[in-house]
Amino acid sequence: GFLPLQGHVVRNWKVRWFVLLQDKLLYYKIEGGKKEPSPKGRILLDGCTITCPCLEYENRPLLIKLKTKTNTDYFLECCSREERDSWALDITGAIHAGHPVQVQELHRMKNSFKLLENISLQNIVERMYDSSTGIKLTRNLDQGNRYKETFTGSALVDWLISNSFAVSRFEAVTLASMLMDENFIRPVGVRSTEATRSSDPSEKFLDDSTALYMFAESSKKNTSSREEVHFNISELSGTIVKQGFLVKQGHKRKNWKVRKFVLRADPAFLHYYDPTKEDNKPVGGFSLRGCLVSALEDNGVPAGVKGNVQGNLFKIITKNDIHYYIQASSKAERVQWIEAIKPLT
């Protein structure tokens, strides 16, 4: 699949197509909408160490860090927490492929719970407040309301693991729930607040990038009303339905570039981002109301499509008759995107 990779000489970010083999991770350049036949590079997994979550870059919270036995660092960015954890588990399994007992232990640890004895919740909170190593507070939107100094559920889980307060996501969620029960943190917004009503204690805190939390002692005057939010911001406040990397044809130059697509509902919008950029602002997007979405046949290049493309194309026509041509990485992924978009049109 597609992942942004940081360069070694020039420390910029390029999107590459990654293929995981038993002993190496190959990455390919995409040129003209098609994967080049020879790999651009390879990461040898023998003796490699993996860090996930990796929080070395504040504005890139979904990183995987690989350090080879020659001490070369590779940073790979994923599109969602679920995708990151899936890649990390598969890469870790490949690193330890010759040691099946370790692989079994890794799978067991995913849902294990060994809370450290005599753990101090007060100590955790003090570390969370630390200006340099603590949890990063950001502004977030929820249902049209804007909140200051918040963090997401998945960000807190990542932080607890990276600071060795927990060894698995299950354990970190349990710790976060304890912090909430003891009124150190509190939910804000619809998703996280509704979850607290669950009868299952394990579901009261959400390991989710759309569930918002804040320190309990933070001012409650941190929200602004729906009417005060600008339209361009309000269209980004919808619930994220699906996100992932897709290849999109440009409108003017007709070249193909990998973009991170985010599908939202209420309001229904599809935005796309340049994953090589440091900011997290969309470079384009459109309302899905009145749109038509359909798959394009793979036998030959359809009219309106330029270049020797890979295939798995689909097209979205907006109500203003603007045509978007998009490539998925597989037929199954194309079907998933079309089925996710159609109900929102």
| pLDDT tens digits, one per residue of 80-134 | 888 888 899 899 989 887 665 655 655 555 544 445 555 678 889 889 999 888 9
Give dist(CA 205, CA 193) in Å, integer. Answer: 9
pLDDT, tens digit, 9 for 90 and up, residues 220-263: 434 443 333 343 666 777 888 999 999 999 877 788 899 999 99
Q: Does pLDDT of 219 surpass 50?
A: no
**Is 2-110's fold the same as 121-215's?**
no
Written out in words, the top-level CATH class of the domain with range 2-110 is mainly beta
Specify the pLDDT at position 230: 40
Burial of 21 (0-12, 13-18, 19+ CB in 10 A): exposed
Closest CA to 269 of 251, 299, 289, 250: 289
pLDDT, tens digit, 9 for 90 and up, residues 276-333: 887 778 888 999 999 999 998 766 667 778 776 778 899 999 999 999 999 998 899 9
Phi–psi pair at 227, nearest 5 degrees:
-65, -25
Written out in words, the top-level CATH class of the domain with range 121-215 is mainly alpha
Specify the pLDDT at position 144: 62
DSSP track, 272-286: EE-TTSSS---SEEE
Specify the pLDDT at position 231: 39
Closest CA to 208 of 334, 112, 80: 80
| Cα 103 from chain centroid (whole Å) | 25
- Residue 201's identity, in one-letter code, is P
Give dist(CA 247, CA 15) in Å, integer. Answer: 11
Cβ atoms of 153 and 69 closer than 8 Å: no
pLDDT, tens digit, 9 for 90 and up, residues 28-58: 998 877 888 899 999 999 999 999 888 888 7
Helix (H) or strand (E) holding 264: strand 256-265
Specify the pLDDT at position 343: 95
Helix (H) or strand (E) holding 218: none
Q: What region, left, alpha or beta, does residue 312 occupy, with left being phi > 0 and alpha being psi -120 to 50 degrees? A: left
Give dist(CA 345, CA 254) in Å, integer. Answer: 25
| 262 contacts: CB under 8 Å, gap ≥ 6 | 240, 242, 243, 270, 271, 272, 273, 282
| 2 contacts: CB under 8 Å, gap ≥ 6 | 15, 16, 17, 18, 245, 258, 329
Cβ atoms of 66 and 56 closer than 8 Å: no
Average pLDDT over residues 331-337: 94
Specify the pLDDT at position 300: 61
For the chain, give the percent of residues with pLDDT over 70: 85
Closest CA to 18 of 76, 67, 62, 57: 76
Q: Which fold has domain 233-342?
A: PH-domain like (2.30.29)
Q: Does pLDDT of 334 surpass 60?
A: yes
Domain ranges of the chain: 2-110, 121-215, 233-342
Cβ atoms of 259 and 235 closer than 8 Å: no
What secondary structure letter does DSSP report for 22? Answer: S
Cis peptide before 302 (omega within 30 of 0): no
Closest CA to 15 of 329, 336, 340: 329
The rounded mean pLDDT for the chain is 83
Specify the pLDDT at position 104: 60
